[in-house]
Homo-oligomer: A and B are copies of this chain.
């Protein structure tokens, strides 16, 4: 594979990522991806055989390179549940804010192709059971109040993802269309979400 190959392949992938993530799979157009990459439509099929395959490549990269590795690290390494919540919220709000179209992209994929993402997560080695056990232990030790640990986890993820997915609705309704205000709001959220949860579960 020559250097030119790599360059083109990467250009395509980057363009495809932009278009697929913004438009969704069905509404994305191969022509637009080609235009965005600054190359010809036929080249898309030369490198990736079909729209399906191209989409799969994009999805795989988003999940396996962008989202999962860091989360894996946090969930794996952080023993203290309060610190875990903080780190998780900080990373998640940050990465999603930097890639604001990912939530829609992922939620769409979840609904169109239910098993792909969950399999990726399950195969990624992310130790969900361990994390839940860690929360359970904190409850047994009287550090946090007793509740279903999954409720806490779901709350955490919800609060990180949704405000970005719903950006275009929140912006006019809560922020008078001020992007500065909204940005400040999200920046604060990195700690706010964690504090909100800890405030709720600590004893």
Contact = CB atoms under 8 A, between A and B. Distances in A.
B162 A154 contact: yes
Interface SS majority for chain A: helix
A161 interface: yes
Contact of A114 (B168, B174, B201): B168
Given A24-B26, A150-B185, A200-B197, A104 B108 contact: yes
A43 interface: no
How many copies of this chain sit in the oligomeric assembly?
2
Interface in A180-197: 185, 188-189, 192-193, 196-197
Band of interface residues on A: 35 or more
B188 A148 contact: yes
A168 B200 contact: no
Contact of A158 (B148, B162, B169): B162
Interface in A85-136: 101, 103-104, 107-108, 110-112, 114-115, 117-119, 121-122, 128
21 contacts: A23-B26, A24-B108, A25-B27, A104-B108, A104-B111, A108-B108, A110-B165, A110-B166, A111-B168, A114-B169, A117-B169, A118-B173, A119-B172, A121-B173, A147-B196, A150-B175, A150-B185, A151-B196, A155-B193, A159-B159, A161-B162
Given A26-B26, A118-B171, A158-B163, 10 more contacts: A24-B24, A107-B165, A108-B108, A148-B192, A150-B185, A151-B189, A151-B192, A155-B159, A162-B162, A199-B199
